[in-house]
Amino acid sequence: MDGTQPTPGAAPHDVDVDAPWRRTAAAAGLLGDAGPVPTVFETMTGLAVEHGAVNLGQGFPDADGPDALLRLAADAVLVGPNQYAPGTGDPALRQAVAEHRRRHWGVTEDPATQVMITTGATEGIAATVLAFVRPGDEVVTVEPFYDSHAATIALAGGRHVNVPVEAPDFLPDPARVADAITDRTRLLIVNTPHNPTGAVYPRELLEELVALCRSRGVLILADEVYDHLVYEGEHVSLRSVAGAEDIALTVSSAGKAFAVTGWKVGWLTGPAELVGAARAVKQFLTYSSGPAFQRALGAYLPTDDAERHLAGQRERYRDARDRLVAGLREAGLDPVVPAAGYFVVVDLAPWGVTDAAEAAVRWTREAGVTGIPVGALCRPDGGHLRSWLRLAFCKSPDAIDEAMRRLAEAAPRLRAA
């Protein structure tokens, strides 16, 4: 409560001092003086467009996914389905997701009861958190965390508890996770591969986390949307770990794997009982969405072309990562080389930066290069990574080269605090 008195005729944000939207926005650091502001991703993309900057901020590829998939979707729009998909998703896609997860991650899930198609992984996250987190329950995440994790915990009335991770490996210490768990803890949210750091959680770490949550009666939600973008090591789906079967849910999606982030086709998988509970919520969020996109993915996922795309994309992104890392080093910075994902994180403290949120705006305006402050994915004060910036490399070689050319040119000015 901030003590604001209701004013007749005032905008809702002036009167609803305790409204759910307010705590949701606040939890993601988006409650401005004049009301709620858009996510950091949308804000920085807007600023990049305004200043003609190379946008290495919001994580989306600058080239669309494989032709064969795009054609299947176009055909599906023309011949249908264009009416509501079933609430749990197109049966052919559920089947394809179950097969894909068995083939790639060694997890066996019944497509009829253990796989639910969602409107992007984001809806799967929201449905899970809203299904299981009661007001006052605690939810543990690793900091930095994805903004929607914090926002949905707040929307549910939960208390967000953080375990900070440190450079260069950015892996959580299970002992610190154990310390963070109390009798009120309902859920642990794990994100591997991790946004923004690119950390890939090894199997032993996941085993420790699963054993810990089992012994303390805590559910786990594993956000694995970068599962196919691993350049060093290998992705382990948390649900493939012994003991996770009946306590863990996983979300993933087609957006990153097939470079179609705007399609918003994701999937939630887990024990039938927990998926059913999440469904009780999900069917009142979107009910269902994108039937033609679902049909197209259901047909594409089992194909050799899909496998070739995943392998080729991995090579391209690895090269793009190396190109970005090299460019940042040439400009005089010392980025952490990520094992996975879309992003490189780099500490700007050696350039005299204490708050990368300010630096991100300055870089956009003065250098024409846009990134995301890692502090936007931390507690409201920016946590221990306040001076760190995230830069996306899911972009063309030309875009990355141009960004690095601009950065090298502006570096002397940016360095002067």
Buried b (16+ CB within 10 A) or exposed e, 327-348: bbeebebebbebbbbbbbbbbb
The residue (of 57 and 368) whose beta carbon lies closer to ligand GLN is 57
Query: What is residue 230's DSSP assignment?
Result: B
* Chain centroid offset of residue 365 CA: 26
Quick note: the x/- pattern for ligand GLN over 371-390, rule CB under 6 A, is --------------------
Which residues touch 59 (CB under 8 Å, ≥6 apart)?
41, 195, 256, 261, 342, 343, 392, 394
The residue (of 210 and 260) whose beta carbon lies closer to ligand GLN is 260
The residue (of 69 and 391) whose beta carbon lies closer to ligand GLN is 391
Cα separation, 126 vs 134, in Å, equals: 13
Which residues touch 191 (CB under 8 Å, ≥6 apart)?
141, 142, 145, 146, 149, 222, 223, 224
Q: Look at the block and give the residue holding tokens 């250098």.
A: 367
Angle at 362 between CA 358 and CA 366, to 5 degrees: 175
Q: Which residue is nearest to ligand GLN (CB)?
A: 59
**Residue of 16, 41, 95, 164 that binds ligand GLN (CB under 6 A):** 41
Residue 6 CB, nearest approach to ligand GLN (Å): 32
**Is 325 in contact with 337 (CB distance < 8 Å)?**
yes
**Residue of 22, 56, 59, 181 that binds ligand GLN (CB under 6 A):** 59
Residue 58 CB, nearest approach to ligand GLN (Å): 5
Residue 39 CB, nearest approach to ligand GLN (Å): 6
**Residue of 22, 25, 27, 39 that binds ligand GLN (CB under 6 A):** 39
Residue 253 binds to ligand GLN (criterion: CB under 6 A): no
Quick note: the x/- pattern for ligand GLN over 177-216, rule CB under 6 A, is ------------------x---------------------
Residue 370 binds to ligand GLN (criterion: CB under 6 A): no
Residue 46 binds to ligand GLN (criterion: CB under 6 A): no
Residue 252 binds to ligand GLN (criterion: CB under 6 A): no
The residue (of 306 and 372) whose beta carbon lies closer to ligand GLN is 372
The residue (of 41 and 316) whose beta carbon lies closer to ligand GLN is 41
Residue 62 binds to ligand GLN (criterion: CB under 6 A): no
Residue 152 binds to ligand GLN (criterion: CB under 6 A): no
* Chain centroid offset of residue 84 CA: 26
**Residue of 58, 240, 250, 269 that binds ligand GLN (CB under 6 A):** 58
> Which stretches within 247-340 are classed as H helix?
254-257, 272-282, 291-300, 304-330
Largest CA distance in the chain: 63
Strand 138-143 to 54-55 pairing: unpaired
Interface with ligand GLN (CB under 6 A) = 39, 41, 58-59, 195
